[in-house]
Amino acid sequence: MTLRGVMVGLALALPGVAHAADCDDLIASMEAISKALAEVEIERAVGLAEWAGGQLTCQPKPVNTVVLTGLFQLTGAAALFNGDGVGAEIAFSRAVAISPTTPVDPMYGDEAATLYGKVQRRLVAEPTGSVTLLGPVEAWLDGRTVKIGLPLDLMPGDHLLQWREEAGSVHGRLIQVAAMESRQLTLGTVATLDGEKPPRPPRPPRTGGSSLNVPLLAGGGGGVVVGAVLLGLASATQNAFWREEDPAALEGLQARNHALAISGMSLVVLGAGAAGASFLVDAQPRVALGWRW
């Protein structure tokens, strides 16, 4: 049976397939294209084919593989009849990428068959690409059901990706697969197509205070303590100075007293300043304890 015969069978078997109000039914579109070609309205057929190609991603149900392949074969034939060899080759390439072994409908003539065979040989000789789909969805590529999490080899070219979350509507998008490419696409509420990463969640608020307030508070307190010790030593040195009876030792005691007093006062001032700065870094400085209530 030819591809056209299969398409007619699908049209008869699925007369009541619902489709979105703003999305054309593909089988009806293909019938309109074929009618325009039969009436030799070539430019109209090309325009209808381009329009139908733009309706793929809005389809409310997975597109049948045979219908999808037939659409691009018909689009290529319309382009070829219009003298557009490049456009015909692009459309035939899309049909071959979807179904590599399906022959072109002989109704399109020898020229279409020759070009289609050339495209088939070229694409079959290229290495395949690989796509892995992830996410809480059911998905289809070119109308075929895809097993989530398992890599799927695809011919290089454009492919129709469709997916649906549980009890949700069908979404669609065209993706391009290159030879030897390995892609991983996550589908679902947060879709990350084309390798795009989802945004990171915000960090939870800190509960241990600022990372600076504790060192400042501890260091400042230590400075005050050491300074106080030095001031105490300076006071003891001063008492020894007044008790000393040897004139030769008085000069050394006085120098030591001055050094201890200056050092002690400096540390007290610096320590108090550091401790005060910790309150500016965090209005509620605190030190974590080793247990929880």
Per-residue pLDDT at 207 = 45
Chosen domain end from 74, 109, 125: 125
Per-residue pLDDT at 12 = 34
Chosen domain end from 125, 141, 174: 125
Per-residue pLDDT at 188 = 84
| Other Cβ atoms within 10 Å of 292 Cβ, number | 5
Q: What strand order describes the sheet that includes 137-141? A: 144-146, 137-141, 157-165, 170-177
- Please tell me what DSSP assigns to residue 190: S
pLDDT tens digits, one per residue of 184-205: 999 987 544 555 554 454 444 4
Residue 215 pLDDT exceeds 60:
no
Q: How confident is the model at residue 5 (pLDDT cuts 50, 70, 90)?
A: very low
- Please tell me what DSSP assigns to residue 232: H
**Residue 207, in any domain of the structure:** no
pLDDT tens digits, one per residue of 99-145: 999 999 899 999 999 999 999 999 999 999 999 999 999 999 999 99
> What's the mean pLDDT in 163-178?
93
**Residue 121, in any domain of the structure:** yes
The parent domain of residue 244 ranges over 213-281
Per-residue pLDDT at 1 = 40
Residue 33 pLDDT exceeds 80:
yes
**Residue 289, in any domain of the structure:** no
> What's the mean pLDDT in 251-257?
58
**Are 11 and 108 within one domain?**
yes
Residue 119 maps to which CATH number? 1.25.40
| Other Cβ atoms within 10 Å of 87 Cβ, number | 18
**Are 244 and 277 within one domain?**
yes
> What's the mean pLDDT in 218-235?
58
Per-residue pLDDT at 256 = 60
Per-residue pLDDT at 283 = 45
3-state secondary structure of 127: coil
**Residue 83, in any domain of the structure:** yes
**Are 218 and 267 within one domain?**
yes
Chosen domain end from 125, 150, 166: 125
Beta carbons of 154 and 96 less than 8 angstroms apart:
no
**Residue 205, in any domain of the structure:** no
Residue 14 pLDDT exceeds 50:
no
**Residue 287, in any domain of the structure:** no
Is the pTM here over 0.85, yes or no?
no
pLDDT tens digits, one per residue of 60-89: 999 999 999 999 999 999 999 999 999 999
How far is residue 99 CA from its own chain's centroid?
29
Share of residues in the chain with pLDDT > 90 (%): 54
97 Rama sector, left if φ>0, alpha if ψ -120 to 50, beta otherwise: alpha
**Are 32 and 120 within one domain?**
yes
Residue 230 pLDDT exceeds 90:
no
* Whole-angstrom distance, CA of residue 144 vs CA of residue 155: 14
> What's the mean pLDDT in 40-65?
95
Residue 57 pLDDT exceeds 90:
yes
Residue 219 pLDDT exceeds 70:
no
Across the chain, mean pLDDT equals 76
| Other Cβ atoms within 10 Å of 241 Cβ, number | 16
**Are 101 and 30 within one domain?**
yes
* Whole-angstrom distance, CA of residue 17 vs CA of residue 1: 23
